[in-house]
A and B are shown apart, each in its own frame.
Chain A
Amino acid sequence: MPSTNSELPVPSRLPGGLKLLIAGGFGVGKTTMVGAVSEIAPLTTEATITEASRGVDDIALTGGKTTTTVALDFGRISIADEYVLFLFGMPGQERFWFMWDQLCIGALGVIVLVDTRRIEDSFDAVDYFERSGIPFLVAVNEFEGAPFAYTGAEVREALQLRAEVPVVMCDARSRTSAVNTLIALVRHLQTLDYSTVRPAAPRPAVPEGSFI
């Protein structure tokens, strides 16, 4: 499909869209972080995804496809007059993971938010991004009553992170702290040796007809 702007001159007054993603388990504070840094109140768009059904029973009932509606929360930061950086909270529940591939396309990088009270919720997300080839950092979200019960080194060990993946401590509710986390990610993009980034691993199930 041709790009929409290939036929028309690009008006200089239109900014270039950029995308950062915030991932992590359900309830870890993704939307809170979006709201802390966004110049607008976080918005929600409703994405509908059609994917091939896996079960034989499903095929009998639905003709081989299932449709899922996912709410995507996002915010924006203007980069001078030239670009707009959008931050999307990635739906955390495992059943939405088939849309992560689509969301990752064209994204600068990912912040994986971790709650140390439920660090096991982060294993799969970290594993996903380790294999996807997209740059990411791990941000340990400080919750009330659980002020950094673990050090960055302990979190790194628990998640078995590769050495180049940064670990930062943050408070997703704090604008300053959330901005510092974004800065840490962009600095990581500046220094990361992209030649060591693995190519994306082939995935067993290719979603079809995604509308993201």
Chain B
Amino acid sequence: MNRGETDAFVDSAAGRLIRPYAVAGGRTAPQADFHLVTHVVATGRPLDGLGPDHDDILSLCRRPISVAEVSALSGLPLAVTKILLSDLLGWRAIDTRAPVPVFERARPGADLLEKVLDALYKL
């Protein structure tokens, strides 16, 4: 999965040999709204002719995963990751779930906080 050692465009010492914006086709902003803790998962829709970066990212999405983790595990900067995920969403290759909304100056739901607390007590 990690292309770091094998990809012709990645040098183990120097890092990526092509600029991130080239991966993203010159685009600098995703078409959809992805956050660090937005979750994504592959729909299983077959796609042909994906580039290596889209392909890598889609492979990471075989299980539910956050945008931050996709970026960290692919080694792609967050901004590029979001653009590629945005493409995959446009092709219906992934589903997404937005982060749990947390509003300023408003207590999160009591049920939510209780579940978080329960999980922490079990650690």
Residues of A within 8 A of B (CB): 1-5, 8-11, 13-19, 37, 43-48, 69, 72, 74, 76-80, 82-86, 88, 106-108, 133-134, 175, 179, 182-183, 186-187, 189-190, 192, 194-195, 197, 199-200, 209, 211-212
Contact = CB atoms under 8 A, between A and B. Distances in A.
A175 B96 contact: no
A134 B102 CA distance: 11
B107 A194 contact: yes
Contacts of A74: 36, 68, 72
A195 to B, nearest CB: 8
B5 to A, nearest CB: 18
Contacts of B104: 133-134, 199-200
B37 interface: yes
Contacts, number: 167
On chain B, which size bracket covers the interface?
35 or more
A199 B95 contact: no
B120 A186 contact: yes
Nearest to A200: B104
B1 interface: no
B81 to A, nearest CB: 8
Interface string B90-115: 00000111111110111110101101
Contact of B119 (A5, A44, A46, A77): A77
B35 interface: yes
Which residue among A1, A79, A182 has the maximum number of chain B CB atoms within 10 Å of its CB? A79
A144 B89 CA distance: 49
A93 B64 CA distance: 33
Contacts of B95: 5, 8-11, 14
Given A17-B35, A183-B120, A186-B117, A4 B79 contact: no
B123 interface: yes
B32 A17 contact: no
B39 A82 contact: no
A78 to B, nearest CB: 7
Nearest to B123: A179
Contacts of A10: 95, 97
A3 B33 contact: yes
Given A17-B100, A85-B116, A211-B78, A45 B36 contact: yes
A187 B116 CA distance: 10
Contacts of A108: 102, 108, 116
